[in-house]
Each structure stands twice: as C-alpha cells, then as structure tokens.
A and B are shown apart, each in its own frame.
Chain A
Amino acid sequence: AQSVTQLGSHVSVSEGALVLLRCNYSSSVPPYLFWYVQYPNQGLQLLLKYTSAATLVKGINGFEAEFKKSETSFHLTKPSAHMSDAAEYFCAVSEMDSSYKLIFGSGTRLLVRP
C-alpha cells in the first residue's frame, strides 16, 4: 500500500534562509509524486509534480524537488525563504494505476521569521 511520511509537522526558518521540507514515500511501483501548498483558509495549489521524467523538478514560486529512488524521498527545497512562503505544504503520491488516487502526507507547516 502506498503511504507518505512528512518529517516535521512544523518547520521554522528565517527570511532568506534555505527551505527544506522532507517527504518519504512507500510504493510498490514507480510512483508519481506531488507537492501541494495550502495558504490559510484556501484550497490546495499544485507546486510541482514528478512523473518519471527528470528527477529534479522545478515548480512555481522558486520551489524545486528531487526524486531519489534509492532513498524513496522527494524533498522540497527553496534557496531563499520569503515571508509569503508561510503556508502548509503537503506531499502526495499516486501510483497512477486504475485508482488514480492521491495519497497525502499529514502536512508540514512552514513558518518564516522576519
């Protein structure tokens, strides 16, 4: 069965510092992987997705993530945090079989200190 683990329910960084949000997955077949962002009182917005092409995926707002099969990881990074990056971030996995079901992690809340 697929699952997603996000290490750290809260991550706090200073403005301008590196952002690193961790995601590990388990899947019996090569997965598709996603990062979504949720701002307060809003729905989820797709940041980026991995669909078995390039292992380094660039997304919106300067975020990127690297698929590492050997580590079963898909960590999200941004070189320099901005105050507007404060939000909840969700990693999700889908095996793209007939279910096309997205399995989400429990989320990581990013806090950005001035």
Chain B
Amino acid sequence: EAGVVQSPRYKIIEKKQPVAFWCNPISGHNTLYWYLQNLGQGPELLIRYENEEAVDDSQLPKDRFSAERLKGVDSTLKIQPAELGDSAVYLCASSRTAGNTIYFGEGSWLTVV
C-alpha cells in the first residue's frame, strides 16, 4: 500500500513569490491533515479535512495561506505571497477517519530567500 505522497520534496523561492504543495493521501483515507514543522520543533496542525470539508482551519494564517481538497482525495496547500518566516517543512498526513492512526508523508521542505 502506498503511503502519503507529497510534492515537491524541496522548494526554494524568493520572498513574495507564490508556492504550492500537493498531497495524495493513502487510498481510502477520508481525513487529511496539513502540519507545519519549524526547525527544531514538533509539527503543528494547520488544517484538517474530513472528505472535502475543512473542519478545523483555526491555525491556518488565512491572509496568505489557502488550502483545498476539491474531490475529497488530493489536496493542495498554497502560500501567496511567501515570507522569510515561512521557511519550514510542510507535512501532509492522513487517517482512515478522524481518531484513527495518522500517517505522515515525507514532507515538502520550503526555503524562502
């Protein structure tokens, strides 16, 4: 069974430029998460989807961040415009349903210069 797939793995952009990350969860997993992991810290939840509905986006900085999961499968996280402080790892994760074990992808490593 394939795991959570994320792309790109690494991205370097200049500040004020846009960037997008893509995630394909494990097949059959209805719940999808985006986490932010700053250097030397644990991951923090940005947004959680149940199928195509964002049920918890309280930690998503909505002035520059947006996310979508239009068909309840793949998801995209976008930052526009990027700031230097956005340099971090963006982790996508999924679970069969909320409350089940959460499986993480390898992350998208963003560097803003």
Contact = CB atoms under 8 A, between A and B. Distances in A.
B61 interface: no
Interface residues of A, number: 21
B91 A43 contact: yes
Closest 10 CB pairs of A and B: A104-B42, A43-B104, A100-B98, A44-B104, A43-B106, A43-B107, A43-B105, A90-B42, A100-B99, A104-B43
Given A42-B106, A99-B56, A49 B41 contact: no
B44 interface: yes
B103 A102 contact: no
Interface of B: 4, 6, 31, 40-45, 48, 56, 91, 93, 98-99, 101-107, 109
Nearest to B6: A43
A91 to B, nearest CB: 8
A43 B45 CA distance: 15
Contacts of B40: 9, 106-107
A107 B42 contact: yes
Contacts of B103: 46
Given A100-B48, A107-B42, 5 more contacts: A41-B109, A43-B106, A92-B42, A104-B43, A107-B41
Nearest to A101: B45
Q: Which of A41, A44, A46, A104 has the most CB of B within 10 A?
A: A44
